[in-house]
Amino acid sequence: MDYISTRGGAPALDFEGATLAGLASDGGLYLPRHWPRFSEGEIAAMAGLPYAELATRVMLPFVEGSLTEEELRALCQQAYGRFSHDAVTPLVQLDEQQWLLELFHGPTLAFKDVALQLLGLLFETFLSRRKSNLTIIGATSGDTGSAAIDAVAGREGVDIFMLHPRGRVSEVQRRQMTTVRAPNVHNIAIEGSFDDAQAMVKRMFGDQGMTSRFNIGAVNSINWARLMAQVVYYFAAALQLGAPHRQVAFSVPTGNFGDVFAGYVSAQMGLPVAQLIVATNVNDILHRALSQGDYSTGIVTPTATPSMDIQISSNFERLLFDAGGRDGKALAEQMRGFEASKAMQLTNTQREGAAGLFTSARADGEEVLQALRWAYDHAGEMIDPHTAVGLHAARTSEIDRAIPVVTLATAHPAKFPEAVERATGIRPALPSRVGDLFAREEAYTELPGEYEAVRDFVSQHASPAA
């Protein structure tokens, strides 16, 4: 399988190359040249498989040429062996139509672990083959940071520099990053929003002064391997609910558009996905883009769902490319316009391509609290506020009653105790597996929201390319 850039100007790479490259050299994002498709019989044969085996079957076509089936299986068994639930991503029923897919049973309590536990192992495998090293530069609104740090802390040949927007992540999220003491982990709090941090990360991939000295790599969902691993749990959920013989809809709390794009990929692979609901908080650029074609940014508003306080959604570019006819040159032009004006209109082809599968909804602060309360009062489930954005969208969307609707439960409620307590009156306790988080000492560097400051810090602390 080879991978092409959404902007048409970078060389095609194999899976190993795309995983280590992170972002394409033309500023685009890598995607498989074509979507592998399973037959109905092949999907039916996946029912009941243990998660690591299902992951092996679903991801195998994507890693062809870079990993053997046995190698992939061994990595999946190792990655998913660290989850605290045997099912890895268990499904919970809320009422006749509504379901939750719990994605927070990994080491750092958010859905990011599902992909990042595997990505850490993929890096290790590929770097040892190449006798090479990697300088990871990442941006986080709270959850990617801790999951990536957990996945690579102490690993040979990898340095990680993780930028978070100062004061805009929850205390649990911050501590999960800043209390990890390993010489290869560098936490940086910058002034500004997640979007500012993400823009600096992308700029570093295009900075020749940096790329000539360091092997820059990505752990954000700009890295294709992240999305590939997230496709698996759509299969896991749909198979339990009767796929391939029954359609299933998903509601996905959305920020950077990575998780919901993984759902789109599952549909391209043959999973009977009836609908993907893109659920946003008041930072609703994606809701406006999908409902009106208007992709124009505003000021990022801080909310009780900080991980989704994002306006520039990296992976939306992947959808615009695929649903818009895979015209890299035209998309590069469109993205250049967007980068200059921070606004663009979707073309008719892009809107029609997306409309087949995607709908969208937006939840304000009060609606988030109401959804949290409903889950607790009605089904006895304590959910986190991001999940509540998804649940609000699921319950207010018009979907045939015969189709189950699965909301992705993207984080453990104890990561956001204030919002949960406000809605339910109960403060959720941290699971014992995160240990003495509040007793540990924190360490991080504060930098202004200026690219040059971050670049100089990375230059001083990273290991030169090997």
Residue 254: name its binding partner from ligand PLP, ligand LJ64HWYM, none (Cβ under 5 to 8 Å by kind).
ligand PLP
If 0-12 CB within 10 Å is exposed, 13-18 middle and 19+ buried, where does residue 70 land? exposed
142-152 burial, b at 16+ Cβ within 10 Å, e below that, comes to bbbbbbbbbbb
Q: What's the DSSP call for residue 110?
A: B
Residue 23 or 43 with smaller CB distance to ligand PLP: 23
- By CB under 6 A, tell whether 254 contacts ligand PLP: yes
Q: Which of 48, 104, 55 is nearest to 407 (CA)?
A: 104
Whether 112 is catalytic: yes
Is residue 64 within 8 Å of 370, Cβ to Cβ?
A: no
Indicate whether 309 belongs to the interface with ligand PLP (CB under 6 A).
no
**Token pair in block for residue 37:** 């498709």
Of residues 168-197, which lie at the interface with ligand PLP (CB under 6 A)? Answer: none
Q: In the bound complex, what is the minimum distance in angstroms from residue 184's beta carbon to ligand LJ64HWYM? A: 19
d(CA 236, CA 50): 9
Considering the rule CB under 6 A, would residue 30 count as an interface residue with ligand PLP? Answer: no
Which option in ligand LJ64HWYM, ligand PLP, none does residue 220 bind, with CB closer than 5 to 8 A by kind? ligand LJ64HWYM
Would you count residue 89 as binding ligand PLP (CB under 6 A)? no
Total binding residues toward ligand PLP, as defined by CB under 6 A: 17
Cβ proximity to ligand PLP, 134 vs 408, nearer residue: 408
Told to check if 311 binds ligand PLP by CB under 6 A, we report no
Phi, psi for residue 168 in degrees, rounded to 5: -115, 15
To ligand LJ64HWYM, the closest distance from the beta carbon of 143 in angstroms equals 3
140 binds, among ligand LJ64HWYM, ligand PLP, none (CB under 5 to 8 A by kind): ligand LJ64HWYM
Residues 128-157 that bind ligand PLP (CB under 6 A): 142-143
414 binds, among ligand LJ64HWYM, ligand PLP, none (CB under 5 to 8 A by kind): none
The one-letter amino acid code at 355 reads A
Out of ligand PLP, ligand LJ64HWYM, none, what residue 275 binds, judged by CB under 5 to 8 A for its kind, is none
* In contact, 181 and 438? CB cutoff 8 Å: no
Which residue in 98, 247, 283, 410 binds ligand PLP (CB under 6 A)?
Answer: 410
Nearest to 254 by CA among 287, 279, 217, 221: 279
253 binds, among ligand PLP, ligand LJ64HWYM, none (CB under 5 to 8 A by kind): ligand PLP
Q: Which two tokens stand for residue 33?
A: 């040249």
Stretch that binds ligand PLP, among 131-139, 247-255, 324-332, 342-350 (CB under 6 A): 247-255
CA distance linking residue 184 with residue 135, whole number of Å: 9
Residues 375-404 that bind ligand PLP (CB under 6 A): 386
Question: What DSSP string runs through 133-180?
Answer: -EEEEEE-SSHHHHHHHHHHTT-TTEEEEEEEETT-S-HHHHHHHHT-
Retrieve residue 263's tokens: 């759902």
The helices-and-strands tally (H runs, E runs) of the chain is 19, 16
**Which residues have CB under 8 Å from 293's CB, separation 6+?**
345, 346, 351
Strand partners, 2: 14
Least distance between ligand PLP and beta carbon 142 (Å): 6
Amino acid sitting at position 170 = S
Residues that bind ligand LJ64HWYM (CB under 6 A): 140-145, 194, 220-221, 255-256, 258, 307, 314
Minimum distance, C-beta of residue 215 to ligand PLP, in the bound complex (Å): 25
CA 47 to chain centre: 25
Structure tokens at 61: 């076509």
Q: Measured from the CB atom, is 184 or 280 closer to ligand PLP?
A: 280
Part in contact with ligand PLP (CB under 6 A); list of ranges 38-46, 90-98, 250-258, 422-430: 250-258
DSSP 10: S
Residues taking part in catalysis: 112
Residues lying near ligand PLP in the complex (CB under 6 A) are found at: 110, 142-143, 221, 253-260, 307-308, 386, 410-411
